[in-house]
Amino acid sequence: MNAPRTFRLPIRFALESMLLCLAYSGLAQVHAQAPQAATAVVLDRVVAVVNNQAILASDIDNEIQLSVLDPGSVRDVALTPQLALQQLISRAIIQQQIRQEDAQATEPTADEVAARLAEIRRELPACVHQNCASDAGWKAFLSSHSLTPQRVEIYLRYRLEILRFVELRFRQGIHISQQEIEVYYRNTLVPQYAPGELIPSLEQVAPRIEEILLQQQVNVLFDGWLDNLRTQGEIEVLDPALDTPEKPAPVRAASPGVGSQ
């Protein structure tokens, strides 16, 4: 007997590493005190400004490096610096709104971060082959990608914070009718199964279909909200090589799979 098929919506994310900027004054002082013959200190540079918030070249490097932790990072092409910058711009706008509204309500707990870390170590496609569920495997994975546990924790905290903000701000008040669930089941789910495959009953998958439809509506509301903020905000890209029309996939929460356990 064929097992029920796992049915998932694409995970659209781009979350989630905003590290502290370098201390310009400290670096400048070190550079000034160094002997003339010493190797020059390379300072980080600002590549974009979002509502008076700087994005550095190192932030783009971090974004690309940390993308290995994104379950939706399996792509036909690698994350480019241009796309990474657009993701950072969107994240900066979201985090500015979080601070304006209620940052404490969206701050994840230590237990939530630990649970997400455990999930990544078990299920991240890029990590499965290295047995990241074990301490030795996880350490090897981090080393192979030049990551540290501290950087991963920062990444996960920001990711969870943004996802919670999106859920709290856009999910409330959305209602999915029984008719919508039935239409999705009949027109979207059932056609995914080949003749002879075991199709789960509507009663079995209705809660998961409702969650998917809720998430779709949340995504629509969020996309419009973010596009509006990007239009109204003061965004300046200072590096011409990064000033492209590429646009990131919006921040999305993962939808549960229909038919999965």
Q: What is the pLDDT at residue 4?
A: 43
Q: What is the pLDDT at residue 197?
A: 93
Does some domain include residue 185? yes
**Residue that the structure tokens 């856009």 belong to:** 170
Does some domain include residue 143? yes
Those residues whose C-beta lies under 8 Å from the C-beta of residue 220, and which sit 6 or more positions away, are none
Contact assessment for residue 218 and residue 170, using Cβ atoms and an 8 Å cutoff: yes
**Residue that the structure tokens 């950087």 belong to:** 151
Q: DSSP letter at 139? A: H
Single-letter code of the amino acid located at 176: I
pLDDT surpassing 50 at residue 18: no
Q: Phi and psi (nearest 5°) for 48?
A: -160, 160
Instruction: Please give the angle made by the CA atoms of 94, 69 and 220, to the nearest 5 degrees.
Output: 40
> Residue 225's closest CA among 186, 164, 170?
170
> Residue 246's closest CA among 56, 73, 84, 16?
84
Q: What is the pLDDT at residue 181?
A: 97
Q: What is the pLDDT at residue 232?
A: 92
Does some domain include residue 17? no
* Structural domain harbouring 63: 24-242
Does some domain include residue 150? yes
**Residue that the structure tokens 């996802």 belong to:** 163
**Could you give the CA distance from residue 17 to residue 91 in angstroms, rounded to a whole number?**
9
Single-letter code of the amino acid located at 70: D
Region of poorest pLDDT, from 100-104, 207-211, 225-229: 100-104
Does some domain include residue 3? no
Contact assessment for residue 168 and residue 105, using Cβ atoms and an 8 Å cutoff: yes
Does some domain include residue 15? no
Q: What is the pLDDT at residue 106?
A: 80
Q: 28-58, pLDDT tens digit by residue?
A: 332 333 344 445 555 789 999 999 999 999 9
Does some domain include residue 16? no
Does some domain include residue 249? no
Domains of the chain: total: 1
**CATH at 87:** 1.10.4030.10
- The dihedral region occupied by 166, where left means phi > 0, alpha psi between -120 and 50, and beta the remainder, is alpha
Write down how long the chain is.
Answer: 261
**Could you give the CA distance from residue 73 to residue 83 in angstroms, rounded to a whole number?**
13
SS3 56: strand
> Residue 59's closest CA among 254, 221, 238?
238
Query: Exposed, middle or buried: residue 65 (CB in 10 Å: 0-12, 13-18, 19+)?
Result: middle
- Torsion sign (Cα): 121, 125, 127, 129: positive
For the chain, how many helices (H) and strands (E)?
10, 3
Contact assessment for residue 194 and residue 2, using Cβ atoms and an 8 Å cutoff: no
Q: 167-179, pLDDT tens digit by residue?
A: 888 988 899 999 9
